[in-house]
Amino acid sequence: MGYEFNYEEKMGTLLISDEDFTRLVRFVQRNYGIDLHQKRQLIQSRLTATIKGRGFSDFKSYVDYLLLKGSGDDINELLVKLTTNYTYFMRETDSFDYFQKSILPQITRRKADKTLAIWSAGCSSGEEPYNITMYMMDYFGSQWGAWDTRILATDLSLGALEKAEKGVYQLPENFPEQWRESYFTPAGGRRYQVTKQVRNNVIFRQFNLMDPIQFRRKFDVIFCRNVMIYFDQPTKTALIRRFYDATVPGGYLIISLSETLPPNLPYKRVSTSIFQK
Ligand SMILES: C[S@@+](CC[C@H](N)C(=O)[O-])C[C@H]1O[C@@H](n2cnc3c(N)ncnc32)[C@H](O)[C@@H]1O
């Protein structure tokens, strides 16, 4: 007795009951495809401040509120706390190189209307779609202006999208100097802003990947990297089938080098983490 209390309680972390844990995990999984069933500690540690800050005394009242009356902002706050927006420029350059050297020459050859449709699904704070734009500008060179290359970039997190729209970043060490000079302007200290020309090539929208895909056009290339890591297998399979339907024949899906596709999907693998319809 006396000193044998729970470490979390001592630190002021709220504990979640089995019942509330199950309710919360099911809710998030059903609506957002995110699998939290092994994240009990994370839920407790990351949500305690939110719950207290919102004036709730325990997980039960917070989960009751969320499931019955939670607004889009409440859900957004929850998901931001429980997932990661971690991203950076020049991430998995092998995939970008393949995109530039193999995919672009192939798809541009058959495009009489000079229009490409590219989607960065789960774009976080924008580094990925801006980076894709830079690879395309580099590829097209003086022909850039003749093509419509606008990228649709979507994410669930409004905070990440806000940062993306601003386009101000600290660049990683390995970022090519020539690209920094061509595609950024200094923004104070070690920060740089993506040029207007690059920013104008990307259209940011909030979109939940659990929702039906009803964009006007089908895509030539879909990038969905480091997003499905949160999803369970059935959610992943269903999403990839929706991607397939939203892709033109011969179009591509690019996932992260650390991910694999579930079996029995109609895509043909053409390179590591790159698949063709
Ligand atoms: C780790 S970041 C990946 C960013 C970028 N694609 C990359 O590879 O660097 C994962 C992003 O997926 C988003 N995300 C997670 N679940 C989502 C969902 N159901 N719908 C849309 N975006 C989601 C998160 O908000 C986060 O910004």
Q: What is the DSSP string of 117-169?
A: -EEEES-TTTHHHHHHHHHHHHHHGGGGGGSB-PEEEEES-HHHHHHHHHTEE
- Å from CA of 12 to ligand 1 middle: 30
Q: Is 104 exposed, middle or buried (0-12, 13-18, 19+ CB in 10 A)?
A: buried
In this prediction, residue 5 has a pLDDT band, given cuts at 50, 70 and 90, of very low
CATH number belonging to domain 7-82? 1.10.155.10
| pLDDT exceeds cutoff 90 at 79 | no
pLDDT score for 8 = 52
- Please count the other Cβ atoms lying within 10 Å of the Cβ belonging to residue 108: 17
3-state SS assignment for residue 50: helix
pLDDT at position 83 is 84
Do strands 219-223 and 247-254 pair parallel, antiparallel, or not at all (unpaired)? parallel
Q: Is the pLDDT of residue 7 over 60?
A: no
Question: What's the 88 CA to ligand 1 centre distance in angstroms?
Answer: 13
**Structural Rg of the chain based on CA atoms:** 21
Helix (H/G/I), strand (E/B), else coil: 200: coil
What is the CA(238)–ligand 1 centre distance, in A?
Answer: 17
Note the pLDDT tens digit of each residue in 171-206. 998 899 999 999 999 999 999 999 999 999 999 999
pLDDT at 6: 52
Asked whether the beta carbons of 151 and 135 are under 8 A apart, the reply is no
| pLDDT tens-place string over residues 100-113 | 999 999 999 989 99
201 lines ligand 1 (CB under 6 A): no
For the range 51-54, what are the long-range contacts, defined as Cβ-Cβ under 8 Å and sequence gap of 24 or more? 51/14, 52/14
- Banded pLDDT at 11 (limits 50, 70, 90): low
- pLDDT over 70 percentage in the chain: 96
Strand 151-155 versus strand 118-121 pairing type = parallel
Find the mean pLDDT for residues 15-26: 96
Is the pLDDT score of 3 beyond 80? Answer: no
The per-residue pLDDT for 34 is 87
Question: Which CATH fold would you assign to the domain 93-276?
Answer: Rossmann fold (3.40.50)
- Nearest atom in ligand 1 to the alpha carbon of residue 120 is 6
DSSP for 233-274 reads HHHHHHHHHHHHHTEEEEEEEE--TT--PPSS-SPEEEETTE
202 within 8 A of 129, measured Cβ to Cβ: yes
Tell me how far the alpha carbon of residue 24 lies from the centroid of ligand 1, in angstroms: 20
**198-241 pLDDT, tens per residue?**
999 999 999 999 899 999 999 999 999 999 988 888 899 999 99
pLDDT over 90, % of the chain: 77
Q: Tell which one of 30, 155, 202, 255 to mutate to probe ligand 1, the residue whose CB is within 8 A of the most ligand atoms.
A: 155
Q: Given this model, what pLDDT does residue 116 score?
A: 97
- Cα(158)–Cα(153) distance, rounded to whole angstroms? 12
Q: Which residues pair with 202 in a beta bridge?
A: 151
Distance CA 277, CA 143 (A): 27
Q: In the chain, what are the domain boundaries?
A: 7-82, 93-276
**Residue 1 pLDDT grade (very low, low, confident, very high; cuts 50, 70, 90):** very low
pTM of the predicted structure, to 2 decimals: 0.89
